Amino acid sequence: MQENERGDTSVLTKLFAHNAWANLKLLDFCEGLSDEQLDATAVGGFGTIRDTLLHIAGAEVSYVSRVNGRLPAQPFARDEFPGFELLKDTVRWSSDELLQLALSAREDTLVRERWERWRCEYTLASLIVQAINHATEHRAQIATIITQLGMEPPDMSGWSYMNETGEFKEFEDKAEGA
């Protein structure tokens, strides 16, 4: 294993690249489903496949907006499915924005929110953890629904990511006795 120099951001960059890749891979797969399949649910999940996809994308936009007030060029209402192309554009935008927030986060960087008579604060680093965990959890829920529909969900693992991006390399071991 090679050691990274202090300040190397490659792990954060890779984490968000994988998150975007997995979200897009799932959206590409789900785009081929029928309306009946998109409306399928599973016990213990968030809701329908369609609603969960919308929830993932909407949550990532909300994380960005909570910190800097920014929204994608074409925001969508979270109560109406905007279509796959807009969701894909949103996922690309939010992934880039979240990466920039993660790169700027320090241990003491706080996010402060206020609504009417209620307010809260938490670290930006913890919000970044929530963003990655949230998407992973809901992608797994959708994969469960897809499996229950009798289909093989897309492989969204880190191994699949490394294979598809060419980062996983296999070599024949020519060592003596191997």
- For the chain, percent of residues with pLDDT exceeding 90: 70
114-141 tens-digit pLDDT: 888 899 999 999 999 999 999 999 999 9
Distance separating alpha carbons of residues 66 and 64, to the nearest angstrom: 5
Tokens of 147: 């499996």
64-90 tens-digit pLDDT: 999 999 999 898 887 889 999 999 999
**Residue 122 CA from chain centroid, whole number:** 21
Residue 2 binned pLDDT confidence (cut-offs 50, 70, 90): very low
SS3 sequence of 7-76: CCCHHHHHHHHHHHHHHHHHHHHHHCCCHHHHCCCCCCCCCCHHHHHHHHHHHHHHHHHHHHCCCCCCCC
- Domains of the chain (ranges, CATH numbers): 10-113+120-162 (1.20.120.450)
Least trusted range by pLDDT, from 81-85, 112-116, 153-157, 158-162: 112-116
CA angle 54/58/62 to nearest 5° reads 170
One-letter amino acid at 169 equals: K
- For the chain, percent of residues with pLDDT exceeding 70: 94
The structure's pTM equals 0.87
Q: What is the pLDDT of residue 7?
A: 61
Higher model confidence: residue 25 or residue 12? 25
Q: What is the pLDDT of residue 75?
A: 87
152 secondary structure, DSSP code: P
Q: Quick check: helix, strand or coil at residue 109?
A: coil
CA distances from 69 to 16, 57, 63, 76, 123 (A): 20, 16, 9, 15, 16
Q: Quick check: helix, strand or coil at residue 120?
A: strand
37-49 tens-digit pLDDT: 999 999 888 999 9
